[in-house]
Amino acid sequence: MTTTSHGVREVPVTEAVLEVDDLSVEFPTEDGTVRAVRGVGYRLGRGDSLGIVGESGSGKSVTALAVMGLLPGAARVRGSVRFEGTELLGLSDARLSDVRGNGIAMIFQDPMTSLNPVHPVGYQITETLRRHNPDLTSRAARARAVELLGTVGIPSPERRADTYPHEMSGGMRQRVVIAIAMANDPDVIIADEPTTALDVTVQAQILEALQAARAQTGAALVLITHDLGVVAGHTDRVAVMYAGRIVETGSVEDIFYTPRMPYTLGLLGSLPRLDREEERLTPITGSPPSLLNLPPGCPFAPRCPLRREACDSSEPPLRRAGHDAHLSACHFAGELVGTGAADVFDTAGADSEALARFADTPPSTHAEEDPA
Amino acid sequence: MTDTEAPGSAGTHLPPADHEFTVRYRSRTRLVLRRFVRHRAAMVSLVVFVLIVLWAFVGPHLWHYSYQKYTPDNSQAPSWKHPFGTNASGYDAYAQVMRGTQTSLKVAILIALGSTAVGAVWGAVAGFYRGVVDAIMMRVADLVLTLPLFAIALVISSRSGGSWYWIAAVIAGLTWAYVSRVVRSTVLSLREKEFVEAARALGASDPWIIFRHLLPNALGPVIVNATVLVATGILTETALSFVGFGVQPPDTSLGLLVSQAQTAVDTRPWLFYIPGFFIIAIALTINFIGDGLRDAFDPRQQRVRQ
C-alpha cells in the first residue's frame, strides 16, 4: 500500500503481495487425520489474477480460509503464508484482523447468508470502512459506501444503501458483498466461488462487478471456482487442485491449450463446447479419493487412463512441463504433448455404458450367451 | 402513497427505469415505526402503558393528597373526593395506588433492564466462544437457576431495608440466567452463519462480532424475554411485598397494597381490586408492546398484522 496513493503502480513485477508456500492443513477427526491441503504453494504479484479450480473437496476453499486465518481452531496449519513479506501464519488473531478486510478481502460463495440480515447494506459497508479507518466520519463513510455500491453496478445506490439484504436479489447482494470486499482498497481479493450460488444469467454481471472492483483497487485476485469458463475469462493464471494439491499450474493458455496432466485434460474434456462438434463429453470416471488415508502414489492414479506402475509407488512432484511457469504433477507429463481429452479418456464413459444397457433390450443379446 | 419519494424525477409518479425492485424505499426508523403502528394490540397497549406511567409519575404532584398523609375519612368507598376510596387508617387510596404503581414500575423496569443486559451479554459470550468458556459460564448460570429465587430474595431483601432498588437488584441477580440461556442457544446457531465468518474476514474482532452481529440478530428473543421479565418482576415484587419482605411502609407498592388489603376483600373490595387491576394492566400491556417491538425490529418480518 505504499505506492498506491500516487495513482501509478510503479511496482516491480517481481514483488509478490501474497506468497503461499508449502501450505498444509490437517483436520483431526475421530477416524483419523484428514489431510485437506497437502503442500500448496502459489505466488501472487501485485494486480495478478489466479484461478484455482478443482472438484469439491479438493482443498480450494480450505486453502483460502487458511490464508485468511479463518479455519477452526482444531485445524493444524503448516507452511507459510506471506502477505507483503509478513508471515501471517502464527500471527495473533488481533494482528490478523488488521490484515483481513484491509489487505486481504474475501468474497464468500452465498450472498444469501454472508450478509447480516438485520443491518442495511450501507451500514455493512460503512462498518468495514470504519473498522480499518477509525477516523472516518460517518458522513464520509456513508458517501464512500454509496460510491462503492455505484461502482459494483447497483442502480440508485443512494437509496439502495438503506435496504436490507432480504429486499435484494441474489445478484444484487453479491454485488454488495463485492463492494464490502473492495471497501478498504485491499491488495488481494479472494473470491470463493462467487457465482456458484447465483443464476447463470447474473454470473456474468457479477464477474463484471468483480472486474470493476479490481480495476479500481488494483487488487490481485484469487478466484476459486469449479467453472473453467469463468477462469478462462477472468484470470491470467490457473492452478488446478486435486486431493489437496496443485497438480498443474500455468497461464490460462498453457492450461487450456497444452495441458500436461491427465486430470486437467479430463476436466477440459468434460466441458461442453459450442465451438466444436462433439457428440459426447468425455467424463472422468470414479470419484476423488478420501483424504483420510491417502495411499502412496499419485492420488489421481485410480481414475487415470494413463496409469502405470510408477503411478502407484510415488507421488509425482510439481515440476516443469513445457516452459518455466507451467508446472505439472504427472510422471508422464511429457507424453501428453498434443493430446486431447478424447485421446486419453474413454468418450463412452460410465453413463453411456448404462445407456447402452437400457438400449439392448433383449437379455439374450448379451455376451454370456455366446459360449453356450 | 404519500410517503413515496419520487426518486430524482420531477413530477412523475411512474417508477424510474432503474428502479428494479418493487419494494418502496423507507428509512429504517420509519419502517420500524410503521410495523409497530400496524400491530394494533401493541399500539393500544403502548397508549395505555404510557398513560399509566404518566399517571404514576406525574399524578402525585397534582393530586391533593399525599400517599403518606392521613385524611380524616376512614374506610370510605370511592367518591369524587377519594376516587379509589380510603383505607382504615384514612390514607387516600388514589394517592397510594399512584405511588404503588410508580414503585412497582421502577422495580419491574430495573429488573428487566438489568437482567436482560447481563443475561444477553453473558449468554452471547458463552455461546460465541463455546468450549471451556461456555461450560464454565453456563454452569454458573445453572447454579443461579437452582437458587430458589423466592428464598434468596426473602433473605437479602429483609436485610436491605426494603428499598425498591435493592429488591430490583436481588430479583435481577436471580433472573438473568434465564435470559442468558435463551440468548446462548440463539447465538449458538447464529455463530455458524456465514455472515459471522464474513465479518471475521473483514477484520471484525470478537467483541465486534458479538455486539454488532450476534446480539442484534438475537434481538427478537431478547425483547420477548425482557417483556416477560417486566411482568415477572412486577409479580415477584408483588409476591415479596405480599409476604412482607418487599417494599416496606411507609413507602408502598402495588404488591404491598394488595397484601394490606387482603383482609378487606369482602368489606372494602376497592382497596384490593384496584391495585390488582393495575398489576394485571401493566403486565399485560408490556407483553403486547414486546410482541409489537419484536415484530417491528425484525427486518424479515413481512406479515401484515391486524
Q: At what angle do helices A200-217 and A170-182 cross, to 10 degrees?
A: 20
DSSP-derived letter for residue A195 is T
- Picking from B193, B202, B298, the nearest residue to A131 by CB comes out as B202
Residues in chain B closer than 8 A to A102 (CB atoms): 203
The mean pLDDT of chain B is 77
The model's pTM is 0.74
Q: What is the pLDDT of residues B73-112, one digit of tens each?
A: 676 667 776 677 676 666 777 788 888 888 888 888 888 8
Burial (CB count within 10 angstroms: exposed 0-12, middle 13-18, buried 19+), residue B86:
buried
- Judging contacts by C-beta atoms under 8 Å, the chain A residues touching residue B208 are 131
Q: Which residues of B210-223 are buried (b: 16+ CB within 10 A; e: fewer)?
A: bebbbbbbbbbbbb
**Assigned C-alpha cell, A13:** 513485477
The pLDDT, as a whole number, for residue B122 is 92
State yes or no: pLDDT of B159 exceeds 60: yes
Q: Output the CA–CA distances (angstroms, integers) from residue B185 to B103, B114, B182, in the order listed.
A: 34, 20, 5
In Å, what is the CA distance from B269 to each residue of B15, B93, B101, B262? Answer: 64, 12, 18, 9
Record the cell numbers describing residue A216, joined without a space: 479500481
CA distances from B134 to A15, A128, B130, B206, B255 (A): 45, 28, 4, 15, 38
Contact B60, B238 (CB under 8 A): no
Q: How far apart are CA A10 and CA B63, in angstroms?
A: 81
* SS3 label, residue A299: coil
pLDDT > 70 fraction of chain A, expressed in percent and rounded: 87
- A8 or B219, which is more confident? B219
Mean pLDDT, chain A, rounded, equals: 81
Neighbour order of strands in the sheet with A86-87: A32-45, A16-29, A76-83, A86-87
Mean pLDDT of B245-269: 76
Closest by CA position to B86, among listed B293, B290, B279, B264: B264
Smallest Cβ distance to B197: which of A70, A97, A99? Answer: A70
Do residue B195 and residue A114 have CB atoms under 8 angstroms apart?
yes
Pairing relation of β-strands A104-107 and A188-192? parallel
Confidence of residue A223 (pLDDT cuts 50, 70, 90): very high
Sheet holding A319-321, edge to edge: A104-107, A188-192, A220-225, A49-53, A237-242, A245-251, A323-328, A319-321
SS3 B148: coil
What per-residue confidence (pLDDT) applies to A221? 92
Per-residue pLDDT at A51 = 92
pLDDT at A346 over 70: no
Q: How many CA atoms lie within 13 A of B209 on its CB side?
A: 25
Q: What is the pLDDT of residue B287?
A: 85
Over residues B204-211, the mean pLDDT reads 86
At A151 the pLDDT is: 87
A192-206 confidence digits (pLDDT tens): 888 887 888 888 888
Which among B24, B186, B192, B195 is the top mutation candidate for probing chain A, defined by the most A β-carbons within 10 Å of its own β-carbon? B195
Neighbour tally for B280: CB within 10 Å: 14
Mean pLDDT check: name the lowest of A322-336, B23-37, B127-141, B279-293. Answer: B23-37
Question: Tens of pLDDT along A38-96?
Answer: 889 898 988 889 999 988 888 888 999 999 888 888 888 999 999 888 888 888 888 88
Does residue A348 or residue A338 have the better pLDDT?
A: A338
Q: Write the ipTM.
A: 0.73
- Model confidence at B277, pLDDT cuts 50, 70, 90, reads confident
Q: What percent of chain B has pLDDT over 90?
A: 3
Rounded to an integer, the average pLDDT of A174-200 is 87
> Given 2.10.109.10, 3.40.50.300, 3.40.50.360, 3.40.50.720, which CATH number is that of A241-358?
3.40.50.300
**CA angle (A116, A117, A118) in 5-degree steps:** 95
C-alpha cell at B58: 406525574
Rounded-to-integer distance, Cα B146 and Cα B153, Å: 13
Topology alike, domains A13-235 and A241-358? yes
| pLDDT for position A8 | 44
Report pLDDT for A25: 92
- Phi/psi for A114 (5° steps) reads -90, 0
Residue B240 has pLDDT above 60, yes or no: yes
The β-bridge relationship of strands A49-53 and A237-242 is parallel
Q: Label residues B13-41 b or e (16+ Cβ within 10 Å = b).
A: eeeeeebebeeebbeeeebbeebbebbeb
| pLDDT for the residue numbered A10 | 46
DSSP reduced 3-state for B78: coil
Min mean pLDDT across A62-76, B143-157, B179-193 is at: B143-157
Residue A370 to residues A356, A358, A362, B121, Cα–Cα distance (Å) = 18, 20, 14, 78
Residues of B with CB under 8 A from a CB of A: 7-8, 16, 18-21, 23, 25, 27-28, 193-195, 197-206, 208, 212-213, 216-217, 219, 297-300
Question: Looking at the domain that runs over B33-297, which CATH code has it been given?
Answer: 1.10.3720.10
* Per-window interface: A 234-253 vs B, CB < 8 A: none
Alpha helices in A104-217 (DSSP H): 121-132, 138-151, 157-160, 170-182, 200-217
Closest by CA to A170, choosing from A108, A123, A214, A261, is: A108
Q: Is A146 on the interface with B (CB under 8 A)?
A: no
Q: pLDDT tens digits for A239-266?
A: 999 888 899 999 988 888 888 888 888 8
pLDDT-derived band at B274, boundaries 50, 70, 90 = confident
Per-residue cell: A43 = 505466488
Q: Does A105 touch chain B (CB under 8 A)?
A: yes
Residues in chain A closer than 8 A to B197 (CB atoms): 70, 108, 114
Domain borders along chain A are 13-235, 241-358
Tell me the pLDDT band of B10, cut-offs 50, 70 and 90.
very low
State in words which class domain A13-235 has. Answer: alpha beta
**Mutate which: B202, B214, B223, vs A, most A CBs within 10 A:** B202
Across B32-57, average pLDDT: 84
Mean pLDDT of A204-227: 88
Residue B201 has pLDDT above 50, yes or no: yes
Burial label for A168, CB within 10 Å (0-12, 13-18, 19+), is: buried
Q: How far is B15 from B22, CA to CA, in rounded Å?
A: 9
Report how far apart the first and last C-alpha atoms of chain A are (Å, whole number).
79
Predicted pLDDT at B191: 86
Q: Which residues contact A229 (CB under 8 A, 6 or more apart)?
A: A271
Q: Between B248 and A141, whose confidence is greater?
A: A141
